[in-house]
Amino acid sequence: MARKFLYFIATMIILVIAGAFVLNIWSKELTEFALVPRGDFVEQQPLDQNAYQDPNMWFSRPGIGIDDPARWQPASRETGRELPEGDAVGGNFAVFFVHPTSYLDRTKWNAALDDAESQRIARLYVRGMASPFNQASEIWAPKYRQATIGSFLTNSPQAVSAKQAAYYDVKQAFAFFLASVDKDTPIVLAGHSQGSLHLLQLLREQLAGTAAARRIAAIYVAGWPVSVEHDLPALGFPACATAEQSGCIMSWSSFAEPADPSLLMGSYGASEGFDGKLRGTSPILCTNPLTGGIGGTAPATANLGTLVPDADFTSGELVAGAVPARCSENGLLLIGDPPEMGSAVLPGNNYHVYDIPLFWKNLQTDVGRRVEQWSAGR
pLDDT at 378: 80
pLDDT in tens, 313-338: 445 789 999 999 999 999 999 999 99
User: Mean pLDDT, to the nearest integer, of 138-166?
Assistant: 93
Q: How confident is the model at residue 81 (pLDDT cuts 50, 70, 90)?
A: low
To which H or E segment does residue 288 belong?
Answer: strand 287-288
pLDDT in tens, 97-115: 999 999 988 899 999 999 9
Structure-model confidence comparison of residues 29 and 143, the more confident one: 143
Residue 344 has pLDDT above 50, yes or no: yes
Residue 202 has pLDDT above 80, yes or no: yes
Q: How confident is the model at residue 342 (pLDDT cuts 50, 70, 90)?
A: confident
User: Mean pLDDT, to the nearest integer, of 35-57?
Assistant: 92
User: Mean pLDDT, to the nearest integer, of 251-270?
Assistant: 93
Percent of the chain clearing pLDDT 70 (strictly above): 86
| Top-confidence range, 7-11, 124-128, 333-337, 344-348 | 333-337
Q: Are 140 and 177 in contact (CB under 8 A)?
A: yes
Percent of the chain clearing pLDDT 90 (strictly above): 71
pLDDT at 347: 87
Query: CA-based angle 327:330:334, to the nearest 5?
Result: 35
Total Cβ atoms within 10 A of residue 317: 20
Dihedral angle sign, alpha carbons of residues 171, 110, 234, 133: positive
User: Mean pLDDT, to the nearest integer, of 181-205?
Assistant: 97
Residue 82 has pLDDT above 70, yes or no: no
Specify the pTM. Answer: 0.90
- Min mean pLDDT across 6-20, 74-88, 119-133, 356-370 is at 6-20
Residue 119 has pLDDT above 60, yes or no: yes
User: Mean pLDDT, to the nearest integer, of 201-224?
Assistant: 97
To which H or E segment does residue 254 belong?
Answer: strand 254-255
Residue 26 has pLDDT above 90, yes or no: no
Q: Are 110 and 146 in contact (CB under 8 A)?
A: yes
Which residues face 192 on adjacent strands? 222
pLDDT in tens, 276-321: 999 999 999 999 999 999 999 999 999 999 998 755 444 578 999 9
User: For the chain, what are the domain ranges?
Assistant: 5-253+363-376
Task: From residue 304, give the alpha-carbon distance in Å to each of 193, 207, 215, 271, 360.
Answer: 24, 32, 28, 35, 8
Residue 82: which residues within 8 A CB-CB, separation 6 or more? 73, 74, 75
Structure-model confidence comparison of residues 231 and 86, the more confident one: 231
Residue 373 has pLDDT above 80, yes or no: yes
pLDDT at 196: 98
pLDDT at 277: 97
Radius of gyration of the chain (CA): 19
Q: How confident is the model at residue 343 (pLDDT cuts 50, 70, 90)?
A: confident
- What is the rounded average pLDDT for all residues in the chain? 87
- Min mean pLDDT across 31-45, 187-201, 221-235 is at 31-45
pLDDT at 45: 94
